[in-house]
Every structure is written in structure tokens, then in C-alpha cells.
Amino acid sequence: MSTSHEAGTATTHRVLILGAGYAGMAAAIQLAARTKRRTDVQVTLVNAQERFTERLRLHMVATGQHLHERDIPALLADAGARFVRGWVTAVDAHAKTVRIDDSRVLHYDTLVYGLGSVADTTLVPGVEDHAYTLDSAQDAASLADRLARLADGTVVVVGSGLTGVESAAEIAERYPRLNVVLAGRQEPGASMNPRARDYLRAALDRLGVQVHSGTAVTKVLPDSVELAGETSIAADVVLWTGGTRVSPLAAAAGLTVDQRGRVVTDATLRSVSHPDVYAIGDAAAIRQGYGNMHGTCQSGMPTGVHAAVSIARALDGRQPRPFRFGYYHTPVSLGRHDAVVQFTHPDDSPRRVCLTGRAAVWYKETVSASPWPTYLRMVKLPSSGAFWPHGGRFTRLRDAR
């Protein structure tokens, strides 16, 4: 087997996975597990950092809490995959190459594009210069340092989606000396049923979070945020969680993308313009019967697993099967001791059932906690099947056969 990406041999099929987010890690580990008995397949994961970032827990890091260090290369080595550290700077879909920031060129036969998304800081003036984001552990640590040094004052969290709600609640609980304001277009918990939404709002009230909904932030200044209607809110710190954007690399490579720059896929998660490229997670525009999927850990990890299954099938001379996914729940932490879990229909619309309080905290930490234990179990799975955790057990995916 070739040990270099410069020029693979005719007997080595090189699978290159870009991005070690929730979806990329799932793809790399699952594919390595499924091909570990083969000597003609090389699985390589490319990521800018060796530490795995649990993005869904960065609001905890931002308030000075410490998470376990998760080492990507060590886990991949156990799984039988290679790791390359580097920022991806270009993809050449015609030449089937990827360039990283130290000028190395990596060759592939099959590419899994999972570079994910970041906070969209480009649409509103001042965000780039004056607001914090939660795109990385470094970003969260920078915010934590600022909050720890703030004796009093006001923190404005912009964006009333789930990231904004969790961040506002966490900051308010951790730093009761600070005034916390949550500002966004929608009411917090707008997608939940009335009981869950009322519980969420009551929890924010209990924590002292002031909510400004139904309005847009039009500008971020060094000491305030301006709202539509020429009003403003004084701010010592601004955290921006209002929307996401994806890397322009896919569009620059000539892959067919949607209006947001996400790779448009067919039913099997392959690019509609380049079938040797699979797109997963936030970087993919994946159509289901109910519409396009939206990016979450809940949906991202299954796309990574499915891509791995599809590639393994193709390597065995079989056709990949369609990807099907339905949402199941929306867990939201409200500080360390409270939470709400909204159970959903497959199209992510709310069911009548929800959990609140201690039961929701237990559920969120037990059922939808860190994906790392799931990755560890994937490493040990038999190579003859693909599995996905469901209800605390590993269920065989129908697409694996």
C-alpha cells in the first residue's frame, strides 16, 4: 500500500476526508472499521487541529468550564485511519487533489467533503471587529477570558436559536453579576410546542436573561448593538450566534452548490456534479422528503456514517443506497441544572411530548452527550456491518447490507 499521497498505486484506493467535525469523524472511523481487513484502501482524515472540538459544548468552554481533551490522531490510529494536520486551502476536483496550508498536495480517488460551517459574521457591520463567536475552542476560550475579567456590565447574545439560548443561559448562571441580554428575530424556542417553549422562557426569566425578540441587530459597535428601528442596547461583550456560512472552497472547486455554498448531493450523498465526491454535515445540501436538512450533530453524524457505508459498498462493486433521515429530538441545556427536550416528528416539527427539568438534564447528558464514546465503540465494531446508536444500543443500518 502506498504511504504517500503524491501518486497512489493502481491497487490503492485513496479516500480523503476533509474536516474532523461530528460528520467527518463518523465517516473516517466507520469507513476505517469497515475496510480494516483490506490492504487496498487508504483512509485519511485532514483537519486543522489534532484536538476534537465538541461544538455543541463550546458554550460551556466559553464560561470557563473544562472539557476532556480528545485526541483525533490517537483514535484514528486505533481505527486504522491516517491523520494529516493542516488547513485546506484548495480543492481541484478535476485533478482530484487537495492543497493544504503547508503547500502539500494530497491526492484522492474518493473525497468526503465535510468542512462544516462557521458563524456568519459578514452580513452585519461590526460583527467581525467587535463580536465573539463559538466557532472553535480557541474562540470560546477567548470569550471565557473576557467574561472572567468583567466585574460587571452587560453581555448581549445575538441570535435566539438554540446556540444563543444555551449560551445566554450558561453565561447568566455562571456569572450572575452580569446582565445577559438575548436578542434575535424569533422568540426563543419558537420551533417547540407551547409547553416546552413556555418552560424555556420561564427558565431564562429565572436566570435573569432579558429577551429582545422580533427584531434584528443591524450593527455591532465597540460598546453597543444597534437594532432595527434605531434603538440600541449597551454592551460590554457581544456574542454572535446569528446564522452560519460555509467555506467557499466547494464552489471554487467547481462543485455544484446551492445559494448558501453547500454541496448539492444526490440521494446517496454524492455530489450531483462530481460522483467521486461525497458531501456530509453542514457542508452538504441534502434533500429529504420534508425538504433540505439543517445542520446539527443529530443529523451530521448519520451523514458521515452513510457516506462511509456507501463508499464501502462501491469498493465492493455494489451500488450505494439512498440516505434517509428523520429528526427525533431537540435537547436544549438551560445552564448545568436545567434543560428542555422537545421530541419531534421526522421533519423536525414538534410532537406533544417533551421533557423538562431533571429528566431533561439526564436525557441530554446520557442520550445526546459527547459523541466520543460513540466513536470509541465504532472503532470496535465488526467490519461486516455499519451501526448507529439508537436508544442506547447499536442498531444495524439497513444500508449496510
**What are the pLDDT tens digits along the chain (401 aa)?**
333 454 445 589 999 999 999 999 999 999 999 998 899 999 999 999 999 999 989 999 999 999 888 999 999 999 999 999 999 999 999 999 999 999 999 999 999 999 999 999 999 999 999 999 999 999 999 999 999 999 999 999 999 999 999 999 999 999 999 999 999 999 999 999 999 999 999 999 999 999 999 989 999 999 999 999 879 999 999 999 998 999 999 999 999 999 999 999 999 999 999 999 999 999 999 999 998 898 777 889 999 999 999 999 999 999 999 999 999 999 999 999 999 999 999 999 999 999 999 999 999 988 766 787 788 888 876 554 444 443 333 344 444 33
CA angle 219, 224, 225 (to 5 degrees): 30
Between 162-174 and 194-206, two packed helices, what is the crossing angle to 10 degrees?
30
Per residue in 206-240, pLDDT tens? 999 999 999 899 999 999 999 998 799 999 999 99
Task: Classify burial at 79, counting beta carbons within 10 Å of its beta carbon; exposed 0-12, middle 13-18, buried 19 or more.
Answer: buried
Classify 13-116+247-325+372-400 by CATH class. alpha beta
Domain definitions of the chain by residue range: 13-116+247-325+372-400, 127-240
Chain position carrying cell 504511504: 3
> What's the CA gap between 107 and 5, in Å, rounded?
5
Cα of first residue to Cα of last residue in the chain, in angstroms, is: 27
Classify 127-240 by CATH class. alpha beta
> What's the CA gap between 88 and 103, in Å, rounded?
10
Hey, do 13-116+247-325+372-400 and 127-240 end up sharing a CATH topology, with the first three levels equal? yes
Q: Which pairs from 383-387 meet CB under 8 Å and 24+ separation?
A: 383/33, 383/34, 383/35, 383/36, 383/37, 386/30, 386/34, 386/305, 386/308, 386/309, 386/312
Q: Characterise 181 by phi-psi region: left (phi > 0), alpha (psi -120 to 50), beta (else).
A: beta
Q: What is the pTM of this model?
A: 0.90
> What's the CA gap between 307 and 271, in Å, rounded?
11
- In angstroms, the Cα distances linking 152 to 121, 139, 173, 248 are 26, 21, 14, 40
* Contacts of residue 66, Cβ cutoff 8 Å, sequence gap at least 6: none
> What's the CA gap between 344 and 348, in Å, rounded?
5
Task: Classify burial at 232, counting beta carbons within 10 Å of its beta carbon; exposed 0-12, middle 13-18, buried 19 or more.
Answer: middle
Per residue in 47-60, pLDDT tens? 999 999 999 899 99
DSSP result, 348-384? S-EEEEEEEHHHHHHHHHHTSS-SHHHHHHHHTS-TT
161 DSSP 8-state letter? S
> What's the CA gap between 178 and 209, in Å, rounded?
10
